[in-house]
Amino acid sequence: MLNVEGKAPSTVYRIMTDFRALLGYAFRSEVLAKLPRWPTQKVPRPRPKFLTFEETNRLIAAAAPLDPWQAMVIVGVRTGLRYGELAALRWQDVDLDGFKLSIEENFVNGVTGPPKSGKGREIPLSRDAHAALVAIRHNRGPLVFCGPRGTHIHHATAVRAIQQIADRAGLVGIHWHRLRHTFASHLVMRGVGIRTVMELMGHSKIELTLRYAHLGPEMRRDAVLLLDEPPPVRVSAPNPPVIWDDDEAAPDDDESEGDEGGDDAPRPARGPRRRPADRRHAPSRAIQ
């Protein structure tokens, strides 16, 4: 029915997931005697939409007259933080000297909790993100991005702000999560590995990050072309020097080489005992 109505696959998937959760709650509450059989429908995740490099610069420039929105836009597009992580960011999580952020909290629906993945992460700061945070350093409270009284910014206020900034930049359909997609997309386009992008984004599954993999075809091509290179040359480690004791004499060159001859040739006298170099003994004379 939903497909007949022309709903997008992702919309159908969300509706079916919510309805299945409702049935499960009814069963656990003993409203239903048993769960009905429910068809499963796998929906491919749509490729994330992101801003181009030029659009990103336009968006940042359009936010210039607005405080603290420009800093919030810059940090969002340069760190990939979720909106809730931006709203919960505290100055104690910002290491300006170390050029990094520690993401420990998430602010959603008026409640502060752990990040969506359930664990924190550390994100390095780019130069422009660092400069933006230095520019808005304030003493209104522990929150980095906050209202005039140091309180959390209401989500509706933030939504109106990003829409106003997008209008000034001549962009449509821009929301805070689009900045997160832009961060990951730009990293992959610049050749950053998927595993590194996954860690920076705080994804719990690599499948979430693989949605950006199509943006790095040149990176995959360059990796395969490495097979055309000559094989690496393996260099063996040099033999350690032989150290002689102080009370032992190194054999003369003639004695060390021995006499040439067959099996009947007399064997040379055994030279003094040698031992390999050892850090516990100071060398007195090494064979050159």
Active site residue 34: no
Q: What's the pLDDT at 84? A: 96
Sheet holding 285-286, edge to edge: 275-276, 242-244, 285-286
Tell me, rounded to whole angstroms, the distance of Cα 238 from its chain centroid: 39
* Nearest residue to 183 via CA among 170, 167, 196: 196
Q: What's the pLDDT at 235? A: 64
DSSP 91: G
Q: What's the pLDDT at 25? A: 86
CB atoms under 10 Å from CB of 11, counted, come to 13
82, 178, 181, 211: the catalytic one is 82
58, 130, 203, 211: the catalytic one is 203
CATH class of 53-224: mainly alpha
User: Global pTM?
Assistant: 0.68
φ, ψ (nearest 5 deg) of residue 30: 65, 25
Active site residue 180: yes
Distance CA 287, CA 252 (A): 11
Q: What's the pLDDT at 259? A: 44
Q: What's the pLDDT at 237? A: 62
* Nearest residue to 169 via CA among 56, 73, 277, 74: 56
Q: Do 107 and 100 touch, CB atoms closer than 8 A?
A: no
Sheet holding 121-124, edge to edge: 94-95, 100-103, 121-124
Distance CA 51, CA 165 (A): 14
Domain residue ranges of the chain, discontinuous segments joined by +: 1-44, 53-224, 241-288
Active site residue 116: yes
116, 152, 168, 175: the catalytic one is 116
Residue 243's DSSP bridge partners are: 275, 286
DSSP code string of 171-223: --S--HHHHHHHHHHHHHHTT--HHHHHHHHT-SSHHHHGGGGGG-HHHHHHH
Distance CA 66, CA 190 (A): 30
Q: What's the pLDDT at 258? A: 41
Question: 231 preceded by cis ω (within 30°)?
Answer: no
58, 180, 181, 211: the catalytic one is 180
* Nearest residue to 198 via CA among 107, 84, 187, 98: 187
* Nearest residue to 201 via CA among 103, 69, 107: 103
Active site residue 177: yes
Which tokens sit at 1? Answer: 């029915």
Residue 103's DSSP bridge partners are: 121
Dmax over CA atoms of the chain, in Å, equals: 103
Distance CA 274, CA 228 (A): 48
58, 186, 211, 212: the catalytic one is 212
Written as tens digits, the pLDDT of the chain (288 aa) is 555 566 777 677 778 778 888 888 888 888 888 888 776 666 666 789 999 999 999 999 999 877 799 999 999 999 999 999 999 999 999 999 999 999 999 999 899 999 988 889 999 999 999 999 999 999 999 999 999 999 999 999 999 999 999 999 999 999 999 999 999 999 999 989 999 999 999 999 999 999 999 888 776 676 677 778 787 777 666 666 666 555 554 455 444 444 444 444 445 555 555 555 554 444 444 444
Active site residue 273: no
Distance CA 89, CA 239 (A): 56
